[in-house]
Structure 1
Amino acid sequence: MALLPEKLRGFAVLARFDRPIGWWLLFWPCVFGLALSGGLVAQWDLALWMLLGAIAMRGAGCVYNDIVDCDLDRQVARTASRPLPSGAVRVNAAWAWLIALCLVGLAVLAQLRWEAQVMALFSLALVAAYPFMKRITWWPQVWLGLVFSWGALVGWVAITGHIDAAMWWLYAGTICWVIGYDTVYAMQDREDDALVGIKSSALRLGGQIKAGVALFYALAIGGWGMAIWSIRPEKQALVALVPVAIHLILQVTSLKKDGSNALGHFRSNRVAGLLAALAFLVVGAAGTV
């Protein structure tokens, strides 16, 4: 970031290029689909394209979200210094930047088979609606789960060309994982969110937040286990999920209810994603779709 010219720095911040955790969390579900379908090793180049797509589209999503939320961001201490509410970037320039990032995403889309292209395009309505969810529901994290997990569907179809039960179980488990870690993230903003009327699962769960996160993580492991069982119905195949399960358990047990360590725990899901991806890689390489 320090190497960028000052005029460009605001655009990089707007797309959150300085915070790679977001695109890691968008990228891992893509790898889940590629790995569990058994195609990650043979078609490793797709993973690189999807990494580029995750960086560009996560950036585009952040730009769009900031355009929609500009007035709200001015009222929240953590977001008031963002480029749009602070005036570092003009709204018209933000729209142009959004289009440029989407063009990169379009280039990535062109690398996929047509079935995966169609699957990817179906996510656009979900992406467009997400910034408004915090205004109308206590569970915007569920909507984020639908959006951030979509890569699992695209990755699966990019390899197999079809949909089946394992893919949907993989998607369901990943949604629950996203709800869990984004609830942890939302713990940081509970006071400000309550003041300005923003809704979140962290506020809804109240004093039961650790139990709620634990439940969603347990559902994630359950969904992922069913995905594995669908292609390889052997008990030993489920052992592949033990490392990521332990990681998530440690997350919950060490999470402080006041949210003072929430950001670090949220970021640790980059490791959780890696552990899950390795599990799917082992099972997918041994199984057949």
Structure 2
Amino acid sequence: MTETSAIVPDSEHKGLIAALPLPWRHYAMLARFDRPIGWWLLFWPCVWGLFLAGATARWSMVAWMLLGSVAMRGAGCVYNDIVDARIDARVARTASRPIASGAVSKRAAWLWIMLLMAMGLVVLLQLRWEAQVVALFSLLLVLAYPFMKRITGWPQAWLGLVFTWGAPTAWVEATGFDRLAPLGPLYLGCWAWCMGYDTIYACQDREDDALVGIGSSALSFGRHVRAGVTALYALALASWAGAVWLVRPDPLALLALAPVAVHLGWQALTLRPDDGDGALARFRANRFAGLLMAAACYVIGLAR
């Protein structure tokens, strides 16, 4: 038995979600409420953009963005499962997802998306109009994402655009359309970070993805997955350093990135692509990487 084939199916869960009665449990699983790592990864770039732009005291906005991350990540997962239902049914880890298994109909799933989107709309209305415009552009990226694995061997590159859109939204919330120069390298770093950690995540599914015939950066890198992840994380750190320098041109400010640099270095250098459990652990560790980066942005933003 390979490491990949031993991965726990997505239907297996513990805690509060397991205690929910059916069919509520199916809807919670569909939105991945039982897997908070997804909304943590969506949320952290929001915090980085807000803090690095100098809005270090806007804790109410941080809370709104957390709620928005939970709701929109849930809506994105439901939409992805609707589009990928046939593929999910052919992959061991995802075959028992609610739509793929038939536990939730596509019509009911669309209604669930509408409810989650309504929650997201409440959050959207808390933003200044410039940030609202930026946030709405993300919907175009989200709609296209599930199809990328069918047309490219690098779907993680598109996910990097989608899953880190909170950084430009939060930056514009803090500054409007002024002082945009640091946003470019910040967003590039977020993109590289996301592509790196999702390549690690995709190591779990390399065999199934190859059999089904869908693209994955973990497959496209071939024998060079660790080198690819290392290069992506190095690009992320270099880009973030550029953003920090544009905000505060002081060598001491760059030292704030040291903890997250050490953490990402550990992930990349200890990664074993054929170890599914190890890959999943390193992927999940990015919630801590996000916290370290948030602390760095807070210190830098506070000292501006």
Compute the TM-score of the two structures, normalised by the length of structure 1: 0.98
Number of the residue aligned with 1:14: 30
1:200 aligns to 2:216 (yes or no): yes
Deviations 1:207-244 (A, max 9, x none): 10000000000000011000000011111110000000
Instruction: State how far apart, in whole Å, the 1-side matches of 2:106 and 2:273 are.
Output: 37
Query: Which of the residues 210, 216, 236 maps onto 2:226?
Result: 210
* Aligned ranges 1:241-280 → 2 under 5 Å: 241-260=257-276, 261-280=278-297
2:166 pairs, out of 151, 159, 164, with 151
Larger mean CA deviation between 278-287 and 50-59 belongs to 278-287
Matching residue of 1:98: 113
Contact 1:185 1:263 (C-alpha < 8 Å) held by counterparts: yes
Deviation, structure 1 residue 88: 1.0
User: 1:136 aligned to 143, 148, 151, which one?
Assistant: 151
Which sections of structure 2, spanning at least 5 residues, go unmatched?
1-16
Amino acid at match of 2:191: I
Residue number in structure 1 paired with 2:8: none
Q: CA deviation at 1:169?
A: 1.1
Task: Give the match for residue 32 of structure 1.
Answer: 48
Instruction: Supply the distance in 2 between the matched residues of 1:233 and 1:179 (Cα, whole angstroms).
Output: 28
Which deviations, in whole Å up to 9, do the C-alpha atoms of 1:99-127 show, x marking residues without a partner? 10001000000000000000101111001
Q: Which runs of 4+ in 1 moved over 2 A?
A: none
The alpha carbon displacement at 1:206 in A equals 0.7
Instruction: Give 2:233's aligned amino acid.
Output: Y
Output one character per residue of 1:21-63: Cα deviation in whole Å (capped at 9) or x when no partner.
Answer: 000000000000011011032x110000000000000000000
Matched with 1:69 is 84
The alpha carbon displacement at 1:79 in A equals 0.5
Q: In the alignment, is residue 4 of structure 1 matched against residue 20 of structure 2?
A: yes
Correspondence 1:180 to 2:196 = yes
Residue 122 of structure 2, aligned match among 104, 107, 114: 107
- The residue aligned with 2:138 is 123
Q: How many residues align?
A: 286
In the alignment, what sits opposite 1:56?
A: 71
Matched, 1:80 2:80: no
RMSD: 0.8
Q: For residues 257 and 13 of structure 1, what CA distance do their matches in structure 2 show?
A: 27
TM-score, normalised by the number of residues in structure 2:
0.93
Uncovered stretches (5+) of structure 1, i.e. residues with no partner: none
Are the aligned partners of 1:40 and 1:47 in contact in 2 as well (CA < 8 Å)? no
Q: Letter of the aligned partner of 1:231 in structure 2?
A: V
Shift, 1:268, TM fit: 0.1
Is contact 2:200–2:273 with CA below 8 Å preserved after alignment?
no
The DSSP-based 3-state class of the residue aligned with 2:221 is: helix
1:19 counterpart letter in structure 2: R
Residue 4 of structure 1 and its aligned partner are, at CA, apart by 1.7
Deviation at 1:165, TM superposition (A): 1.2
- State percent identity of aligned pairs: 61
Question: Take 2:173 and 2:94, find their aligned partners in 1: how far apart are those partners?
Answer: 37
CA contact (8 A) 1:205 1:212 kept: yes
